[in-house]
A and B are shown apart, each in its own frame.
Chain A
């Protein structure tokens, strides 16, 4: 976490990037490229450089906070070599329960929902040994079912509390509170991953669970806790998102799962676990948010967006995400 991202141009000859830094450097370079392309477009069409104004960038970070928090939780699980497909409806359920409880208990309720779903996921994956891909998929379906039954299939009429709205859209000295929350989550995750035994255990399990178990790590407990972190992050994102849009609605989390996975992977985290740094995930989230924003400024139709989106993921991974010739 001590190195900072530098643009690739500044790299002196003969100095080779370590595989750890490569994703961060290239993704940062691509972020600058997106900003440059977007600025060139706005200069040509509107005659101003909107994209380089601090307000625009802060606004993008504010919008990116929801994705960033989901991605932070997801990364912890992906580092284990697992995946959490229940994030969309964990997020939605947290948002819906928070708004329907309301009052001072709204935010704790949302977080508790996230934590509870995470624990259920963890029990299924760690103790029942069901592959996480299918178990979290099932939990996602159950949460969807519960929420549809709870709301009758409509957007709930209840509104987000003032505190939730403050966390999402409030500002402290021009900086959106959501960005500060995201920063807080980021610091927590970095400390968790790099400064605690729990973090080391996550990397160890991601590399080889059998070896981690033989080293005396309580692997089931670590997996359970990691899924709890992921659920909690999704719950927090749900609370924030409900505050941002002043209410909860059906399917509000659906658009966050695949971008979050993409952000984690673009950031250099190995999808099979064991390798990856949080800084990469952070840059990956910023990359995806800016790409989306610039494409909508360019009024790109949905068809083109999807194609560019897929091409960027493949392109970035071809540069630095290539695996060995034979795995396993």
Chain B
């Protein structure tokens, strides 16, 4: 499990491409999640009366986006063998902030968006400070800071309400062409080569951009690699002289940033802010489930945010299927729980492959 980082170095003479077999074996969990998602989603689309239309894609993307971002946020601390119980709270807090400031003229909106993004990152940074300088275990530290963030969200929005800019709200929850038209760029898509991408849902494009512009660069830095190293063995990472404190601070900050983006989108989507405690808790717990389904080890050191996105899609697709097959709403929580239990119990099958019983223990 934890040798995912170190393994490629064990074959110094061979370049990428030569070790595809190894790469596939390392990503088996992720591939399983992708296959599960593809199967579930195909079933959903085939049985939907309006299957394979862009309308359905957009609707699905909208529903999955916030959970995907919160799951991405959860992934980063989990890679360090920590856990962030405040991701749902940060999402809620940033959503409540957005419902106050993302409206007015273009300059106001731009400023509001920047403030929201920074607020999420600041919450994450505060988590990191408590963990690094306070030396409190992440799970407990974020349990406490999560309560504080929820308190602040309740202070900002004692009752659901507020508003966000309607054009922005509409643009975020539709496809690229529609979004461009909202801001007066429809000509760009009439004639040019951009036409094919005009049908892509905005949330999916944003998700791809966040992965490409934030996660991959972060992952390639020494700080990013240190996050994995801490998860594999913190002692060894320390002995190797890696910047542990910087990596922990950065990891929680990135987590806060992702969770904040999720909250911002949720506020845009619902055009309001709501300091909903049960919702925040549900998002936090679902994010853990998504991370595990996406193939990231809770013991740290292996996995990726891409897997968590797939994990979030799997969770959402399960509930899409409930709608299609008209499952009794009363039975839905039961099925959701059973799917989660079966999915995680399958990893128990790897116990059968162990040659040494001591490998059972970390």
Contacts and interface: CB of A to CB of B under 8 A. Distances in A.
Interface stretch (A55-63, A92-100, A124-132, A171-179): A124-132
A325 B239 CA distance: 12
Contact of B137 (A129, A140, A142, A272): A272
Contacts of B143: 258, 261-262, 310, 313
Contacts of B288: 133-134, 137
Nearest to A258: B143
Contacts of A149: 330-331, 334
B25 to A, nearest CB: 20
Contacts of B141: 314, 317
B145 A322 contact: no
Contacts of A141: 333, 336-337, 340-341
B216 interface: no
B79 interface: no
Contacts of A145: 331-338
Contacts, number: 173
A139 interface: yes
Interface string B54-98: 000000000000000000000000000101000000000000000
Interface in B171-213: none
A268 B299 CA distance: 23
A200 interface: no
Contact of A328 (B136, B155, B235, B331): B235
Nearest to B85: A258
The residue among A128, A142, A262, A306 with the most chain B CB atoms within 10 A of its own CB is: A306
Interface stretch (A3-11, A12-20, A158-166, A297-305): A297-305
B307 to A, nearest CB: 14
Contacts of A306: 147-148, 150-151, 154
Contact of B135 (A127, A143, A148, A323): A323
Nearest to B300: A328
B298 A303 contact: no
A134 B147 contact: no
B348 interface: yes
Contacts of A271: 137, 139-140
B144 A313 contact: yes
Contacts of A146: 334
A314 B292 CA distance: 28
A277 interface: no
A152 interface: yes
Given A134-B289, A265-B140, A314 B336 contact: no
A223 to B, nearest CB: 11
A300 to B, nearest CB: 10
B348 A133 contact: no
A205 to B, nearest CB: 9
Contacts of B146: 310
Given A149-B331, A322-B135, A303 B144 contact: no
A317 to B, nearest CB: 5
A314 B278 CA distance: 22
Nearest to A150: B330
A296 to B, nearest CB: 15
Interface in B258-272: none
B40 interface: no
A326 interface: yes
B38 interface: no
B358 A307 contact: no
A67 to B, nearest CB: 16
17 contacts: A135-B345, A138-B337, A139-B337, A145-B332, A145-B334, A148-B330, A272-B137, A310-B146, A311-B144, A311-B148, A314-B130, A314-B141, A314-B145, A321-B140, A323-B135, A323-B136, A326-B235
Which 9 residue pairs of A and B lie closest in terms of their CB atoms, listed nearest first?
A145-B334, A141-B337, A128-B348, A306-B151, A310-B147, A307-B151, A142-B337, A310-B148, A303-B154
Interface of A: 85, 124, 127-131, 133-135, 137-146, 148-149, 152-153, 209-210, 213-214, 219, 254, 258, 261-262, 265, 270-272, 301-311, 313-314, 317-318, 321-328
